[in-house]
Amino acid sequence: LAKTTQPISMDSYEGQEVNITCSHNNIATNDYITWYQQFPSQGPRFIIQGYKTKVTNEVASLFIPADRKSSTLSLPRVSLSDTAVYYCLVGDTYNQGGKLIFGQGTELSVKP
């Protein structure tokens, strides 16, 4: 399973765009990149997943360069309620029995 590296913490202000970058230098051909969000005292919640280029949904965008050795989660116009821990995961759960390994995550703090 590819190891990921992401910043431990980030600060932002309401209304700003936030970009969180994750490094995964030894990503394998079959690996997907998945991001989860976790609020205090709750389980992580799936945000977005991608394999290459760009993926966008109603919550976020995920940018993946051609070499796939990193990825960037982009949160447009954050609000106070986006304060959470964001996890980047890399793996091919289908071929690995469904197993995902979580890293330390990035603690995002959004200020008024």
Partner 1 sequence: DVKVTQSSRYLVKRTGEKVFLECVQDMDHENMFWYRQDPGLGLRLIYFSYDVKMKEKGDIPEGYSVSREKKERFSLILESASTNQTSMYLCASSLRNSRGYTFGSGTRLTVV
Residues that bind partner 1 (CB under 8 A): 32, 34, 36, 41-46, 49, 87, 91-94, 97-105
- Taking the complex as a whole, the smallest distance from the CB of residue 112 to partner 1 amounts, in Å, to 26
Is the Cβ of residue 16 or residue 55 nearer to partner 1 in the bound state? Answer: 55
Instruction: Single out the residue of 81, 61, 82 nearest to residue 72, CA to CA.
Output: 61
* 3: three-class secondary structure by DSSP: coil
Is the Cβ of residue 43 or residue 112 nearer to partner 1 in the bound state? Answer: 43
- CB neighbour list of residue 10: distance below 8 Å, 6 or more residues apart: 18, 20, 106, 107, 108, 109
- CB neighbour list of residue 42: distance below 8 Å, 6 or more residues apart: none
- Taking the complex as a whole, the smallest distance from the CB of residue 103 to partner 1 amounts, in Å, to 6
Is the Cβ of residue 60 or residue 105 nearer to partner 1 in the bound state? Answer: 105
- Taking the complex as a whole, the smallest distance from the CB of residue 16 to partner 1 amounts, in Å, to 26
